[in-house]
Amino acid sequence: MQPWDFMLIGDLDVRNQVKELCEREQQAAACYYDEPRRSHYLSLNLEGIVESSVNLCITCDPTRAEEVLGRNSIRETDVYSTCRAVQNMWLASRAEGIGVGWVSVLKMSQLRKILGIPHHVIPVAYLCIGYPVEYLGEPLLQTAGWRDHLPLSELLHYDGWESTGALPDWSDFQRAIEAD
Amino acid sequence: MQPWDFMLIGDLDVRNQVKELCEREQQAAACYYDEPRRSHYLSLNLEGIVESSVNLCITCDPTRAEEVLGRNSIRETDVYSTCRAVQNMWLASRAEGIGVGWVSVLKMSQLRKILGIPHHVIPVAYLCIGYPVEYLGEPLLQTAGWRDHLPLSELLHYDGWESTGALPDWSDFQRAIEAD
């Protein structure tokens, strides 16, 4: 489908505009948190927007893939494809020792204005890319107590939502297929 | 954020219900195509739903991550994360020689009924997983003339939507950063 465009942003003036947008958004979003989360939230660093080697905005053009299969039933497949392109790029970067950070503290409509993105195009991801000072052993937000890791076993279901628990005997699937 | 659940579907009765749903949807979607695309579209094989080793439905629960960072400004980050989990699993499967096919010819509201998925949970992906007979050298839909591959150079922009073309001298970015 290739609904994506990739916009590389090196210009520091543009990046400072984006950073200002995020700082304002961070102030607004902090209003929804109580202490001590509020202070922690406000301390989160947005400097990566200007300090990273380059910023990358990945967009989705829903009009490009109008004729492509699979969009009659699920309109969002174009955005889903774009997210998967983001992840491919992310993993390829990581394999090269390059770090990626997703900036989600911004309003996409305002980002659209700064970058001159047409109204029909959806800015999906705004990423900071560069060689990181360090890789953490576990997600920062987990260390900071925002959320514990959920074990996979709690997120598995079998043949329907209600059936959960440990992985069934895999040969059951094989027998079912052979019996068909 | 981990907004996802993974539902493994081995049961052939359930899979046949899903296949029937897709066949009906395929008939409906075919109405939007002219010949010869219509015939080609109708010939596309849905047997993988029952013939593959297992089906996998990956869902997104928007309520699980309400308190998690980054959702004040962009509500869709939970679905984006789920798509990226799909892609991680897809690439890991491919590395093991396991093929994955995304079934997008179905209405998610009807799939929700078959699988008993709660109303607030979004079924994002319905996948067929198994050892494929062959890997094609290029996407089937490209070979079949649905769409040509777009070269990356046509999808690149620099510092703003209007600036397109060849990759600029990377050292420009470096100089800009050093001058800061």
Q: Is A26 helix (H, G, I), strand (E, B) or coil?
A: helix
Contact of A65 with A3, CB cutoff 8 Å = yes
Contact B10 A157 (CB under 8 A): no
Q: Quick check: A21 pLDDT over 50?
A: yes
Q: How many CB pairs under 8 A join A and B?
A: 202
Contact A104 B74 (CB under 8 A): yes
Q: Quick check: B175 pLDDT over 90?
A: no
| Mutation for testing the B interface, residue in A104, A150, A174 having most B CBs under 10 Å | A104
Select the residue of A11, A44, A72 nearest B176 (Cβ to Cβ).
A11
What is the per-residue pLDDT across B25-52, written as a single tens digit (0 to 9) for each?
Answer: 888 888 888 888 888 878 878 899 999 9
Report which of B93, B7, B113, B103 is spatially closest to residue B48, judged by C-alpha positions: B103
Alpha carbon B162 to its chain's center? 29
> Interface pTM (ipTM) of the complex?
0.87
Nearest chain A CA: its distance from B82 CA (Å) = 9
Helix A12-30 and helix A108-115, axial crossing angle in degrees, nearest 10: 170
Contacts of A165 (CB under 8 A, 6+ apart): A153, A156, A158
Mean pLDDT of B160-172: 69
DSSP string, chain B: ---EEEEEE--HHHHHHHHHHHHHHHHHHHTT--TTHHHHHHHS--THHHHSSEEEEEEE-TTTTTTSTTTTT-TTHHHHHHHHHHHHHHHHHHHTT-EEEE--SS-HHHHHHHHT--TTSEEEEEEEEE--S---SS-HHHHTTS-PPPPGGGGEEESSTT-BSSPPPTHHHHHHHHH-
E strands, chain A, are 4-9, 54-60, 99-102, 122-130, 156-158
B53 exposure class (CB count in 10 Å sphere: 0-12, 13-18, 19+): middle
Residues from chain B contacting residue A83 (CB–CB below 8 Å)? 79-80, 83-84, 87
Contact B150 A2 (CB under 8 A): yes
Strands A54-60 and A99-102, how do they pair?
A: unpaired
A92 versus B45: which is more confidently predicted? A92
| Mutation for testing the B interface, residue in A59, A155, A164 having most B CBs under 10 Å | A155
Q: Quick check: B154 pLDDT over 70?
A: yes
Helix B12-30 and helix B108-115, axial crossing angle in degrees, nearest 10: 170
Q: Quick check: B124 pLDDT over 60?
A: yes
Mean pLDDT for all residues in chain A: 86
Select the residue of A87, A160, A180 nearest B84 (Cβ to Cβ).
A87
B170 versus A37: which is more confidently predicted? A37
Nearest CA in chain B to A44: B69
| Mutation for testing the B interface, residue in A16, A31, A72, A156 having most B CBs under 10 Å | A72
Strands A156-158 and A122-130, how do they pair?
A: unpaired
Residue B101 CA to residue B88 CA, distance in Å, equals: 14
Contact of B59 with B11, CB cutoff 8 Å = no
Contact B12 A91 (CB under 8 A): no
| Mutation for testing the B interface, residue in A21, A173, A174, A178 having most B CBs under 10 Å | A173
Q: Which of A22-36, A57-71, B4-18 has the lowest mean pLDDT?
A: A57-71
> Which residue type, as a one-letter code, is found at position B93?
S
Nearest chain B CA: its distance from A117 CA (Å) = 5
Residue A53 CA to residue A93 CA, distance in Å, equals: 13
B102 versus B70: which is more confidently predicted? B102
Nearest chain B CA: its distance from A124 CA (Å) = 9
Q: Quick check: B69 pLDDT over 70?
A: no
Contact A7 B68 (CB under 8 A): no
Contact of A64 with A2, CB cutoff 8 Å = yes
Helix (H) or strand (E) holding A20: helix A12-30
Select the residue of B41, B84, B157 nearest A83 (Cβ to Cβ).
B84
Question: How crowded is the C-beta side of A142, counted as CA atoms within 13 Å?
Answer: 9
Contact of B132 with B105, CB cutoff 8 Å = no
Q: Quick check: A178 pLDDT over 60?
A: no
Contact B14 A41 (CB under 8 A): no
Q: Quick check: B177 pLDDT over 50?
A: no
Residues from chain B contacting residue A4 (CB–CB below 8 Å)? 155
What is the per-residue pLDDT across A31-89, written as a single tens digit (0 to 9) for each?
Answer: 888 888 888 878 878 899 999 999 999 999 998 876 656 567 788 899 999 999 999 99
Alpha carbon B131 to its chain's center? 19
Contact of B27 with A175, CB cutoff 8 Å = no
